[in-house]
């Protein structure tokens, strides 16, 4: 039997807690500074055992949103490797060139 869990829905923060941030030519979902600070505050309250049931529901919603972002960002990152621009492909080919040099060690 599954026990229902009280949680603020992650969609609650769609308009105020989410931003897109460009990282290495890739737009990733991130928390706004305000939502990140609130998450950190709630985590500290939880660790110290001072969290209220309402705050726990809020923290659970934020944690669920973080899991969704982690998944979405990993999919975006993986797909970006499949759809490189011609200049990125050229750059990547140059980066993969390596030389192995054997250097004798003195005995």
pLDDT tens profile 20-63: 999 888 899 999 999 999 999 999 999 999 999 999 999 999 99
- Read off the pLDDT of residues 56-84 as tens digits, 9 standing for 90 and up: 999 999 999 999 999 999 999 888 876 65
Q: Which residues of 13-28 are buried (b: 16+ CB within 10 A; e: fewer)?
A: beeebeeeeeeeeeeb
What is the pLDDT, as a whole number, of residue 86?
Answer: 61
- What is the pLDDT, as a whole number, of residue 20? 92
What is the rounded distance in angstroms from the CA atom of residue 106 to the CA atom of residue 98? Answer: 25
Q: Check residue 11 and give its pLDDT.
A: 86
For the whole prediction, is pTM greater than 0.85? Answer: no
* Residue 80 neighbours by CB under 8 Å, 6+ apart: 25, 26
């Amino acid at each position: 039997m599954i026990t229902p869990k009280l949680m603020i829905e992650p969609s609650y923060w769609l308009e105020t807690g989410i931003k897109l941030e460009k990282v290495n030519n890739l737009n990733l979902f991130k928390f706004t500074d305000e939502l990140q600070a609130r998450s950190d505050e709630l985590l500290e309250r939880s660790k110290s055992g001072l969290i209220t049931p309402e705050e726990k529901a809020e923290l659970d919603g934020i944690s669920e949103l973080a899991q969704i972002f982690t998944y979405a960002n990993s999919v975006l990152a993986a797909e970006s490797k499949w759809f490189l621009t011609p200049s990125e492909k050229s750059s990547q080919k140059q980066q993969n060139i390596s030389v192995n040099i054997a250097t004798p060690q003195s005995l």
